[in-house]
Amino acid sequence: MTPIVGFAEETDAPLPPLEAARTMYVPEGFNVTLFAGEPDVRQPIGFCIDDRGRLWVAEAYNYPNHGTTPSAQSPSNRELNDRILIFEDVDGDGRFDKRTVFYDELNYVTGIEVGFGGAWVMSPPYFYFIADRDRDDVPDGEPQVLLDGFGNHANSHNLANGFAWGPDGWLYGTHGRTNYSLLGKPGTPDEERIHYDGGVYRYHPVRHVWEPFADGTTNPWGIDFDDFGQGFVCNCVNPHLFHVIQGAHYEPWRNRAASQYTYRRIDTIADHLHFTGVADVRDGIGSPEEDDLGGGHAHCGTMVYLGDGWPDRYRNTVFMNNIHGKRVNNDILKRLGSGYTASHGPDLMKSQDSWFMGVTIMYGPDGSVFVSDWSDTGECHSVKNTQRDTGRIFKISYGQPAVVRQDVSELADDELVALQLHNNDWWVRHARRVLQERAASGHDMTEVNDSLRAMFNEQTEVPRKLRALWALHVTGGLDEGSLSQQLGHESEYIRAWVVRLLSDRKTLSPAILDRFVELAATGDSPLVRLHLASALQSLPAEQRWPIAEALVTRAEDAGDANLPLMIWYGIEPLVHDDLDRFVRLAATAKIPLVRQHIARRVAELTP
């Protein structure tokens, strides 16, 4: 298609759905088709893809009228309830053929994921599980409230939202900064609830444990992982991309108590902006200069492309919807020290429809990518919803992808293991989660784990070895002994993940603690030291000290974007454990920022 110059002209109505798909600009070799459009789908706030390749779509029809009960606008009219719909492309032509209403009594839905026999739904203040264990697309009963207290008190759009299954078997979610949450199981007294200011969190689907993972940014919306299991989120306002580090605190601070003693917070990894208005981010909206930079300051949805349907140059690069720019941006990731930097790549798609407002972006089983379009004239600084009757889901393909029909959940154990080597990570992730489900149900995983261990030993590519490691983890195939053997692995990514999996156990054996200290003191990888710094926050005080005392001596980390701050975040609570030892850290530290922050923190204790 011919490239478009400038922004799409504002119109009183959106382009018809098919016309909107036909006129999108994409690079040569790509094409855009309409998967679903109004009236079949309206206000799609998010979607996920199930083991059969079907899209489960959350319709946020109530926005911006957030309340605590369904039908906040009109209790007698189910048409005004938020809904979960299932769309299936039966004939493989890229457009849905079958549409099912799964559940239609939600209010203010913001996120959806499926697995473990049902749908996981975020609908602040509630986090639901809607069971469908017989897989007949009819809920088995009323939704189960797993947690309540997710904030919806401050505004309509800066709150808990979408989900993604992590490589470690946890369900990850993102959470806006304005609506803080007081989380607990239903009936939990206020004084026993968890105060959460926003960022990235995770929930374990088997143990039913919630925990914060990282703190900050403004309004992160969408999380995804690269071939090495590193997470990334885009931000709906201001700096647009962050490397998700366990225990990190990100800019901007916004006077949140959770970051009171962090003093400084980790910045965006992007080396560029998609907007011109530095003093006021809205100044450049619609200008040619902003168009050249990428379209605007507001982003939504995060996808690290790991599919097999696009050219190889896109793999491990990040895609996000640019709300004001009516397009999909592409950032190029590169390692830098303990983390990453991200440079601006050519935009993947640009819409000629002035109503286009992309929210979720996700690759599917054939390697093509689905993009949801909120389709509205309101923008990210407004709570208004000008209408509720439009919405689209587009499919971006390269060439003509082969038709894929396979229910992953019906595959045999050995077939699921074999899928860990598939070039399209969609298959890898779904197969890993199905194996996790089987392990959680009591299924004998002996042969599975034997095969995965052989895979880990035989594969030479690090991403494939990591896949075997993650699958072993979620199926219970890793004990401390087998993990500890890999602390000396030649790949820093594997060593880093072993540190993370061991520290997730919240306490270390004396032998493992000694190995952590050794890696902190003499290891050659800043990535591994970053994971050791993250581990500090998971461990009891007596095990933090020796690791911290080794990390602060690494002068080569003084200029790293992450390590000085992550070390500080891990040691700051120790001021209350042993003040003298805390002060001695400043004397031995060879990282100036750590010394400065220790001095500041001690000074603040002085009456």
Q: Which is nearest to 59 in space by CA: 373, 353, 319, 365?
A: 373
Where helices occur in 25-145 by DSSP H, the ranges are none
Rounded alpha-carbon distances, angstroms, from residue 605 to 125, 441, 584, 597: 37, 51, 16, 13
What values do phi and psi take at 321, rounded to 5?
Answer: -75, 135
Measure the CA–CA gap between 246 and 230, rounded to whole angstroms. Answer: 10
In this predicted structure, the answer to whether residue 3 has a pLDDT above a threshold of 60 is: no
Tokens of 377: 């004239």
Rounded Cα–Cα distance for residues 140 and 80 (Å) = 23
Q: Is residue 86 scored above 70 in pLDDT?
A: yes
The model's pTM is 0.95
Of 469, 472, 474, 475, the C-alpha closest to 487 is 469
Sign of CA dihedral 111, 58, 367, 270: negative
pLDDT on residue 153? 75
Residues 575-584: tens digit of each pLDDT: 999 999 999 9
Q: CA–CA separation, 90 vs 405, rounded Å?
A: 9
- Are 60 and 379 a contacting pair, CB within 8 Å? no
Q: How far apart are CA 494 and CA 486, in angstroms?
A: 7
The candidate with the shortest Cα–Cα distance to 318, out of 418, 257, 242, 371, is 242
User: How confident is residue 75, by pLDDT bands cut at 50, 70 and 90?
Assistant: very low
Give the angle 64-361-291 at the CA atoms, nearest 5°.
Answer: 85
Confidence class for position 71, pLDDT limits 50, 70, 90: very low
Measured distance CA(413)–CA(451) in Å, rounded: 10
Residue 1 — very low, low, confident or very high, per pLDDT cuts 50/70/90? very low
State pLDDT tens for residues 476-512: 999 999 999 999 999 999 999 999 999 999 999 999 9
pLDDT 10s digits, 4-22: 556 677 788 999 999 999 9
249-250 and 210-216 beta bridge pairing: parallel
Contact 497, 466 (CB under 8 A): yes
Q: Which amino acid is at 339?
A: G
Looking at residues 55-73, what average pLDDT do you find?
A: 73
Please report the sign of the dihedral spanned by the C-alpha atoms of residue 253, residue 257, residue 260, residue 261.
Answer: negative
Q: What gap in Å lies between CA 542 and CA 545, rounded to an integer?
A: 6
Q: Please check whether residue 44 is in contact with residue 81, taking contact to mean a CB–CB distance below 8 angstroms.
A: no
Decide which of 3.40.1390.10, 2.120.10.30, 3.40.710.10, 2.60.40.420 is the CATH code for 24-398: 2.120.10.30
Q: What is the secondary structure of 213-255 as a DSSP string? A: EEEE-S-EEEEEE-TT--EEEEESSSS-EEEE-TT-EES--TT
**pLDDT computed for residue 6 by the predictor:** 66
The per-residue pLDDT for 237 is 77
Share of the chain above pLDDT 90, in %: 80
In the chain, the N- to C-terminal Cα span, in Å, equals 68
* Pick from 112-116, 159-163, 380-384, 391-395: least confident: 380-384
- Helices (H) then strands (E): counts for the chain: 14, 26
- Phi and psi at residue 3, to the nearest 5°: -60, 150
**Torsion angle defined by CA atoms of residues 295, 300, 301 and 304, in that order, rounded to the nearest 10 degrees:** 40
SS3 at position 582:
helix
Q: Average pLDDT of 598-604?
A: 96
Closest to 220 (Cα-Cα) out of 194, 246, 195, 201: 201
Contact yes or no for 192/208 (Cβ under 8 A): no
Q: What is the pLDDT of residues 222-268, one digit of tens each?
A: 999 999 999 999 988 778 999 999 999 998 777 777 788 999 999 99
> Residue 163's CB: how many other CB atoms inside 10 A?
26
CB 214 within 8 A of CB 200: yes
Q: Are 282 and 342 in contact (CB under 8 A)?
A: no
d(CA 347, CA 552): 41
